[in-house]
């Protein structure tokens, strides 16, 4: 890992100005992706701006219709929270299935979303639930936030502060995980909302997480979900699974997610 200059500001606003002022700055949240990436020299930031001192970015609260989770809240804290388990149990289960216990003790919601790994779990929940990403500058609807593999709507000097999840009538998440990394080969999040079902797929799309509108239609009309209309040409293929296999898994995971939503 190349050396860098390190800063640890006390608020998200200070972190955003430090990020704007840095030559090639990066925000350090839990570091569970960024540090391994820096060790491989795939990232060589001039400045690392740590959010560990920003206590206002940690926390979970619910007002009965919206569950708000601070960006620096760890996966482990989300998985263990009784507030989350009461409001959106599918989100507890999703957070408890990320990586391994030590990764969950460091990795954060905001870090996962800012990175937008195409096989990460949280993007499926955020898009599936139609959440709002709150930043130092504005509020971004999930449908506008994810813009392709590792691409988001965030500006260069913009930091996620929290995510607001509308509490659905019911929700479920099912993933077929890579047995070594626990990343999703395919993960499907199904949410039943007052405005109809929402279905988000992670791990499969070449452009990262996406909504499966045909499956939403099938669930709305009471049909069993199937992935027949998904375009295989838009899906990932690698040593773990071909596009055809991932397409098949989308249907299977959608059925399982729907069943777990009840």
Partner 1 sequence: MPTVSMTVNGKQVSGEVEARTLLAQFIRENLELTGTHIGCDTSQCGACVVHVNGSSVKSCTMLAVEADGADVTTIEGLAMDGDTLHPMQEAFRDNHGLQCGFCTPGMVMSAIDLVDRNPNPTDSEIRDWLEGNICRCTGYHNIVKSIAAGAAAMRGQKAAAE
**Least spacing, CB of residue 49 vs partner 1, in Å:** 11
252 binds partner 1 (CB under 8 A): no
Query: For partner 1, which is the closer residue by CB, 126 or 184?
Result: 184
Question: What residues pair up with 199 in beta bridges, in sequence order?
Answer: 190
**Least spacing, CB of residue 212 vs partner 1, in Å:** 29
Q: How far apart are CA 242 and CA 260, in angstroms?
A: 26
Stretch that binds partner 1, among 5-13, 55-63, 84-92, 121-129 (CB under 8 A): 5-13
242 binds partner 1 (CB under 8 A): no
- Cβ atoms 197, 211 nearer than 8 A: no
**Residue 28 host element (H or E):** strand 25-28
DSSP letter, residue 235: B
The residues near 188 (Cβ < 8 Å, ≥ 6 apart) are 124, 173, 174, 175, 199, 200, 201, 202, 212, 215, 250, 253, 254, 256, 257
17 binds partner 1 (CB under 8 A): no
**Least spacing, CB of residue 126 vs partner 1, in Å:** 24
Could you say which residues in the range 45-64 bind partner 1, by CB under 8 A?
Answer: 48, 50, 52
**How many positions of this chain bind partner 1 (CB under 8 A)?**
27
At residue 181's C-alpha, the angle toward residues 177 and 186, to 5°, is: 25
Residue bearing tokens 């009965």 = 64
What tokens were used for 90? Answer: 């599918």
At residue 51's C-alpha, the angle toward residues 49 and 55, to 5°, is: 155
Query: For partner 1, which is the closer residue by CB, 99 or 130?
Result: 99
**Least spacing, CB of residue 118 vs partner 1, in Å:** 19
**Identified binder of partner 1 from the candidate list 20, 36, 196, 237, rule CB under 8 A:** 36
Q: How far apart are CA 163 and CA 160, in angstroms?
A: 8
84 binds partner 1 (CB under 8 A): no
178 binds partner 1 (CB under 8 A): no
Stretch that binds partner 1, among 35-43, 202-210, 219-227, 234-242 (CB under 8 A): 35-43
182 binds partner 1 (CB under 8 A): yes
Could you say which residues in the range 86-145 bind partner 1, by CB under 8 A?
Answer: 99-103, 105-106
Q: How far apart are CA 119 and CA 112, in angstroms?
A: 10
Q: What is the dihedral of CA 10, 11, 16, 19, to 10 degrees?
A: 10
- Cβ atoms 19, 49 nearer than 8 A: yes
**Least spacing, CB of residue 222 vs partner 1, in Å:** 35
Stretch that binds partner 1, among 26-34, 199-207, 212-220, 230-238 (CB under 8 A): 26-34
Instruction: Point out which residues bind partner 1 (CB under 8 A).
Output: 1-6, 8, 28, 31-32, 35-36, 38-39, 48, 50, 52, 76, 80, 99-103, 105-106, 182
């Amino acid at each position: 890992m190349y050396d860098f200059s390190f800063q640890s500001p006390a608020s998200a606003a200070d972190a955003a100005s430090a990020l704007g002022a840095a030559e090639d700055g990066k925000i350090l949240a839990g570091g569970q992706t960024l540090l391994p990436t820096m060790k491989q020299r795939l990232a060589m930031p001039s400045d690392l701006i740590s959010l560990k001192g920003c206590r206002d970015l940690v926390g979970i609260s619910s007002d009965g219709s919206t569950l708000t989770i601070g960006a620096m809240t760890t996966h482990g804290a989300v998985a263990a929270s009784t507030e989350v388990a009461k409001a959106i149990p599918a989100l507890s289960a999703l957070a408890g299935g990320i990586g391994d216990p030590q990764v969950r003790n460091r990795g954060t919601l905001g870090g996962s979303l800012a990175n937008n790994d195409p096989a990460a779990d949280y993007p499926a929940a955020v898009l599936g639930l139609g959440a709002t990403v709150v930043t130092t500058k504005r509020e971004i609807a999930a449908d506008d936030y994810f813009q392709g593999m590792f691409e988001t709507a965030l500006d260069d000097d913009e930091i996620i502060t929290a995510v607001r999840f509308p509490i659905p009538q019911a929700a479920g998440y099912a993933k077929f995980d890579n047995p070594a990394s626990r990343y999703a080969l395919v993960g499907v999040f199904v949410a039943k909302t007052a405005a109809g079902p929402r279905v988000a797929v992670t791990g499969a799309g070449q452009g990262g997480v996406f909504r499966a509108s045909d499956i939403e239609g099938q669930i709305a009309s009471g049909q069993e979900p199937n992935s027949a209309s998904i375009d295989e040409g838009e899906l990932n293929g690698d040593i773990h699974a071909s596009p055809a296999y991932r397409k098949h898994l989308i249907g299977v995971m959608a059925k399982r997610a729907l069943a777990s939503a009840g």
